[in-house]
Structure 1
Amino acid sequence: MHVLLNQQRGFASKAMLETFIEFTFEAAHTTPPYPHPHGHTFKAQVILTGTPDPYYGWSHDFRDVEPVVEEVRKELDHKYLNDIEGLSMPTLENVTRWIWHRLDGRIAGLDRVVLRRGADGHAEGCSYRGAGQTFPAAAAG
């Protein structure tokens, strides 16, 4: 019955879902050319892709994903990023890659990590996909 309902809802066998889990953390760092430690509020999105389960319709059970993501969040939250192994130069781009590598191989369907810092209305960000993955081509203008 559920399989039939999901097929009626458009969950075809070749369909792909993109889901995400988001977390925030507060952290400080020092990066050239800024010699003084300073902090940011960071917001990370972990974006997953997968095919819909024929019964539930989801591509990932967040009960499996959340503990792994929470472990990474705790490694970053209220920390001085320069002191974390692998983050001696904790630029936005390097922190994004660091999060990816902490999750890669631990969460099926990991597509990309997006990291933003700053308040709404004035934020900077970076998106990272691991080696061998490509970003969609930019639309012709």
Structure 2
Amino acid sequence: MSAKLPSLLLTLVLAGALGLSGCGDDSGDDGSADTSSDAGSSSPAPADDDTTTEGDTPPAEEEPDEGDGDHGRPSRDDVVAGYTAILTDQSGGSLPAEIVEQTVTCFVDELYDTASATTLQAIADSDPAGIDPADAELFGQAGVTCAEAPTG
């Protein structure tokens, strides 16, 4: 039971720190507009010019090959590392490493398949302010799931 209390506190800290940081929309105007316009406007513009030579045209679909190749998502390991750095910074390094690892791994397992690429990249970059506010509910759900998970 004593291991469950630090885990619960850690889960609440994680959910609060990351979930609430995404609610402040300081510079979110540029980020949300970029994701919807990048997909269709970047590649076709150069193809219409007559100045390109026949052999110099780069393939348009080889660009989005970042991370795991999962539509621009960072790797799961990068997200875990970034989340660990955020939590360590938020707690001042006072939490046991084993509890941090268990909780962060649980959170990433819960969030990775459902969170947006923007949110995952922000976590991987240790930038809680970059988290997409639309993903805030996912942090609450992950917090409940991870708080209920048994600790070893």
TM-score normalised by the chain length of structure 1: 0.26
Higher strand proportion: 1
Q: Which has the higher contact order (CA 8 A, sep 6+)?
A: 2
- Highest CA radius of gyration, 1 or 2? 2
Higher helix proportion: 2
TM-score normalised by the chain length of structure 2: 0.25
